[in-house]
Structures are given as C-alpha cells and as structure tokens.
Amino acid sequence: MILHAGLHRVLRGVRRWRGEGAGQPIPVDPELPASDWRHLATEIEATVENKGGPVAARRRAGKIGVTYESLTPGGRLRFFQKLAEDFGHEDQQVNRAMDAVFAASTREARRSAEDELRRRLRARREVLLRRLAGLDDGLPFLIGMRSELLPHRRRSPELTALDGEMRQILEEWFDVGFLNLERLTWDTPASFLEKLIEYEAVHAIESWDDLKRRLGPGRRCYAFLHPGMPDDPLIFVEVALTKDIARSLEPLLAAPTDPDHAAHAERDSDTAIFYSISNCHDGLAGVSLGDFLIKSVVEELAAEMPGLKTFATLSPMPGFRSWLVARADGDGALLTPEETAALGDGGAGIAEELDGLIAGPPRPPDDPLLSRVEPVLLRLAATYLLETGPSGRAVDPVAHFHLTNGARVEYVNWMANPSPVGWDRGLGLMVNYRYDLRTIETNHDRYISDGRIAAADAVRKLAEPPKADGGRIRRS
C-alpha cells in the first residue's frame, strides 16, 4: 500500500473549531439557566436546518461544541435535557406519516410513505450530533460527551433516546471496518504508551519497567485504533506466549529472571494467553470491539507464529463472590450434605467458616481453611460458570463475553490470583476460556439461540455434586 508521502496533508481549517483561531463560544452562563438555553437553541436550530449550507452548519456545530465545553456538570446535564426534549421528533408528524402509510394504495405509494415516516421518526438533534462527530477531534468529543451523559441516561425516556442515538452514531463510526489493529511495542511513542498505563483496567501497570516487560520478549500487546483518533487506543489486549495453558497469573506478570531466557521461551511457546483486555473509553459503552480484537489477534498470531496451537484467556470471575453471598443468604446451602459430612467438622461450623471466608478479607494462600474448602469452592465455581439466568445469559459477565465470542470454559484454577484484587474478583480463582477456531461458531450459535454453555468435560464434572463415599469426597 502506498503511504502517500508525496501527498501533502493540508491544514484542515474548515474543521478547526477549538483553540487559537477558532470561533468563540456562545456567551452563556456555565450553569445554563433556561434563559441562556435560548441562545444555544437558536444556534442548534440553525445547525439542524443547515442554514448557510453544510460548511456553515459545521462551523456552527463547532461553536456549540466549545460552548458545551464551557459548561459546568450541571449545565451539561441541562444541555442534555433540553436537547432531548426540544430537538426530538414531532409526534403529530409521525402520526400523520403513519396514517399516510396505512392509506397508501400502491406499493410505490407505500414505499414512499414509509420513507417519509422514517424521516419523521428521526430525532432532529441527530443532525447536530453528526455534525459534532464530523469535526476535527469530533469523535473523542462525542465519546467524552456520551461518557458524561451515561450516568443520567435513565432519568427520562428522552435522555435514554439521546444516549441511544449517540451510541448509534458511534457504532457507525467505530465499525470494525474502520479500525486498525496495531501492535504496540517499546518503540511506540511514550505519550501513547503512557495511555496504556492509564487505561489498563485488569492488572494495573506498576511502572515503566513493568510496561516494558509487557511489551518485551514472550509478550505481545495489540490495540484497535481509529484513524480519527490516532493518538488514543480504543481497546487493547495483553498476551503472554507460554508453554501450555497458563493456569496462574503470577508467572505472567513477574519480571523474567533472564531476558535471553524469555526470548528463548518465546520461540518454544505453543500457547497464547490473553491475560488482560481493557476498554479505554466509557463513552464507547455498548460498541462491540472486544470480540473482533481477540479474533484478529488470534489470526495475526497464528499467521506469525505457526507453532502456536492454543489460544486461551486467564480471566477473573468478577460475580463469583456476590453470587456465593446471595446463595448463602438465600438458603445457606453452599455445601451439599456429602461435603459437609466429608469436611468432618460437623454441621454449622464449616458452613459458618465458609460464609466468613467468602464475605471477608483476602486470606493468605496457605490459610488451612482454604485447602480444606478447595474442592467445595472449585465445585461452586464450576457451577457458577455454567449457570445461566432467566434470559439465557451466563450469570458471570466475563463468561458471558467470552461465551458470546464462541469460546468455551476450559479450566477453573485454584488460587490463580491470590492478590487482594484477585480475591475480590473470585476468591483467587481464575478461569481459562479457550478460543478454538474450529468450534467457535457452533459455540456462539448454541449459546445465543439456546443459552447452551460450551465447557470442557472436566469443568462439567467439577460442577457435579460429589457422591458420598465413606466420609470422603470422591470425584471421578
């Protein structure tokens, strides 16, 4: 592909709207009292009506944008509310358009009436939102705007609708067809890498040394970028290349004792472990990116390193603790009678200890209680992972994400992350979800249509209540 170096990218003055040389905000009180809203409404109206032509409309959108930025949080909420109320569609016009559809006597007439109906159903503010998105840096602006709207979107049906329109526009602009998959390395600009530190949501990056390690031998980091936001990742995933599926977190994050060894190990690896995946922008909530990122990276790695045979995650179970607590509160029956018996301790004692454990602070991995209840917690974890709610969705949100992608539950791992964070996200247990390209689509379809969860036999067995066998828990 040509990297048009001989083309001279020119200043995009038409779209400049912020900073030096750009327009001034509309003079409104930052709290946006009703009286000031009117000034803003006039400009919005002109934008929506395309007054002065599209270039003028775009410049006016910029003016509205900087005005929005001059508002306080309270002013911004009022802005959302007024925009939602005053720039929707007109019910009467919709009604008339529906009447016309019903009245149409020919196919042509009906199609034409439907076109009109579609137009009438469209909120007028959409024109403004699209103009804002089309400004230079309009995408990050709209993402930021939506992240500020999100906490309030349930306040009224109009705010919900406004949020839905924003999401719709962002979905169109952030279609995966626009995104570039980029590998991030230690050669990436520092200003960009800094953002990984900021955005990493799963396993915090402790320092630049830690970051360098995660980009070094035996590790990979990939991100989706949008050409309209080239300095900011949308989502990124961190990968470790290992021998066999990694079943505990510590070796993935620890500093390698020997970089030569790390390079050597990379050559011998047969497995890629996705140990962290972070969405970078709240404002993109509901815009699906993770599925494509994981599969793009799987394809990329498979092409680059033919030795890689297995692709899997090492994931937390963020809902496990609250599920246990709810279950314990509900009927107290965390333990089967057989387990209670096997644990020997007689009745309430062990059940109480277990209750304390699941609700309490992190325990050290060598806490004797832990080894006693290991079989019980493993059974409960497997049960939890295989459980679906009334809508057919897996109860664990991370499980739901990977199952929707077509992965299967492969292993449940004891004390895979005994850190406080790990305790919080699943009592130290972690799960491997495996991405097997041959079964990914079938898994997806079964899960989506029937709520059937793909899981390894061992996990299914793990979930079975143990049979009593002379006071000991026996597993086949």
Select from 218, 354, 346, 210 the least CA-distant residue to 273: 218
Cβ neighbours of 184 (radius 10 Å): 22
From 261, 315, 371, 476, active-site residue: 315
Binding span for its own copies by CB under 8 A among 126-134, 235-243, 277-285, 424-432: 126-134
Q: Per CB under 8 A, which region of 37-45, 69-77, 135-143, 337-345 contacts its own copies?
A: 135-143
Residue with smaller CB distance to its own copies, 55 or 333: 55
Burial class (CB in 10 A: 0-12, 13-18, 19+), 388: middle
Q: Nearer Cβ to its own copies, position 156 or 383?
A: 156
From the list 115-123, 241-249, 309-317, 426-434, the region that binds its own copies by CB under 8 A is 115-123
Rounded to the nearest angstrom, the gap between the alpha carbon of residue 180 and the centroid of all alpha carbons in its chain is 18
Q: Which of residues 6-25 bind its own copies (CB under 8 A)?
A: 6-15
Closer to its own copies by CB, 3 or 34: give it: 3
Nearer to its own copies, 55 or 348 (CB): 55
Which pair of tokens denotes residue 237?
A: 């995933």
With contact defined as beta carbons under 8 Å apart, do 181 and 300 qualify?
A: yes
**Segment 144 to 163, residues that bind its own copies, using CB under 8 A:** 157-158, 160-161
| Comparison of 193 and 317: residue with beta carbon closer to its own copies | 193
If one asks whether residue 124 binds its own copies (CB under 8 A), the answer comes out as no
Residues 48-67 that bind its own copies (CB under 8 A): 51-56, 58
> Of 178-186, 263-271, 331-339, 461-469, which part binds its own copies (CB under 8 A)?
178-186
Q: Which of positions 67-106 make contact with its own copies (CB under 8 A)?
A: 89, 91, 94-95, 98, 101-102
The count of chain residues that interact with its own copies, using the rule CB under 8 A, is: 95
220 phi and psi angles, rounded to 5 deg? -140, 155
Which residues, listed in sequence order, are joined to residue 219 by a DSSP beta bridge? Answer: 240
Residue 85: CB minimum distance to its own copies, A: 11
**What angle separates helix 125-133 from helix 138-149, to the nearest 10 degrees?**
130
* Structural contact between residues 227 and 257, judged by C-beta atoms closer than 8 angstroms: no
Per the document, the length of the chain is: 476
Of 277 and 373, nearer to its own copies (C-beta) is 277
Query: What residues pair up with 273 in beta bridges, in sequence order?
Result: 240, 312
Query: What is the H or E stretch that residue 94 is in?
Result: helix 91-103
Binding residue for its own copies, selected from 181, 305, 328, 421, defined by CB under 8 A: 181
281 is catalytic: no
Selected from 43, 186, 217, 265, the binder of its own copies by CB under 8 A is: 186
Q: Under a CB-based contact definition with an 8 Å cutoff, are residues 311 and 272 in contact?
A: yes
- Coil, helix or strand at residue 388: strand
Contact 212, 186 (CB under 8 A): yes
- Whether residue 203 lies in the annotated active site: no
Q: How many CB atoms lie within 10 A of CB 245?
A: 19
Active-site residue identified among 112, 400, 402, 449? 402
Q: Binding to its own copies (CB under 8 A): which residues in 191-220?
A: 191-194, 208, 212
Out of 38, 72, 154, 180, point to the residue binding its own copies (CB under 8 A).
Answer: 180
The interface with its own copies within residues 209-268 (CB under 8 A) comprises 212, 222, 225, 227-228, 230-231
DSSP-assigned letters across all residues of 106-165: SHHHHHHHHHHHHHHHS-THHHHHHHHHTSTTHHHHHHHHHHHHGGGTTS-HHHHHHHHH
Range in contact with its own copies (rule: CB under 8 A) among 33-41, 188-196, 313-321, 343-351? 188-196
CB 260 to its own copies: min, Å: 14
Q: Which of residues 378-417 bind its own copies (CB under 8 A)?
A: 404-406
204/202 Cα distance (integer angstroms): 6
| 349 three-state secondary structure | helix
- Min. distance of Cβ 88 from its own copies in angstroms? 9
Contact 97, 120 (CB under 8 A): yes
**By C-beta, is 58 or 78 nearer to its own copies?**
58
Minimum CB distance to its own copies smaller for 112 or for 248:
112
The answer for residues whose C-beta is within 8 angstroms of residue 277's C-beta and 6 or more apart is: 202, 235, 236, 237, 238, 290, 293, 294, 313
**Which of 178, 267, 367, 474 forms a contact with its own copies (CB under 8 A)?**
178
Range 278-337, binding its own copies (CB under 8 A): 288, 291-292, 295-296, 299-300, 303
421-440: contacts with its own copies (CB under 8 A): 440
| Residues that are catalytic | 315, 402
